[in-house]
Amino acid sequence: MRKSVGIKQAIFPMPVLMIGTYDSEGKVDVMNAAWGMMLDMNHVVLNLTESHKTVQNIKEKGAFTVGLADEEHMVAADYVGIVSANNTPDKFEKSGLTATKSEVVDAPIINEFPVTMECRFVEYQNDETGCGVIGEIVDVKVDEKVLDEKGKIDPSKIKAILYDPFNHGYYRVGDKVGNAFQEGNQLK
């Protein structure tokens, strides 16, 4: 039996994405964004309002990075999501995170997060269905500690965290349970 619970943000899990930018003075800004995903093979879309300092920075610099938040840095990741750079200009310093300048886009790579997509700003959309930043992925940087013996990313080593929109919790990505594009062959 099913019960109606009303309209909910019912997509679970949602990734915890760390959006890195530089402001007009070259100062690092990072925010936590659960409302983001792959748009296609080379593009990401982030549902961010123009009031975010991050969006202003993206438009001005034409670039941003998207890091995957991990369990080890959950406190800092949550902090930069609940504090606005519009009100707390030194929030990055207070977070304890560190950054390195990307070699391919004018944006910072947050060192603590093991996987980072470097993105070129494509466009900002704002209409009746929502608002969003679209970026083209131009490179991905990965900490070697999350690679397997063949040099491929091992998701279990990332220890990425996910956002639970039902109860506002964070969860760590769990164990592999199958192989995509193969398990369904059992029903052929």
| Domain ranges for the chain | 14-187
pLDDT score of 59: 96
- Whole-number pLDDT of residue 137: 98
Sequential pLDDT tens for the chain (188 residues): 998 888 887 788 899 999 999 999 999 999 999 889 989 999 999 999 888 999 999 999 999 999 999 999 999 999 999 999 999 989 999 999 999 999 999 999 999 999 999 999 999 998 877 778 999 999 999 999 999 999 999 999 999 999 998 899 999 988 888 999 999 999 99
Is 14-187 in CATH node 2.30.110.10?
yes
What's the pLDDT score for residue 155? 92
What is the pLDDT, as a whole number, of residue 18? 98
Residue 127 is predicted with a pLDDT of 82
SS3 sequence of the chain: CCCCCCCCCCCCCEECEEEEEECCCCCEEEEEECCEEEEECCEEEECCCCCCHHHHHHHHHCEEEEEECEHHHHHHHHHHHHCCCCCCCCHHHHHCCCEEECCCCCCEEECCCCEEEEEEEEEEEEECCEEEEEEEEEEEEECHHHECCCCCECHHHHCEEEEECCCCEEEECCCCCCCCCCHHHHHC
Q: How much is the pTM?
A: 0.93
Residue 111: what pLDDT?
98
At 108 the pLDDT is 98
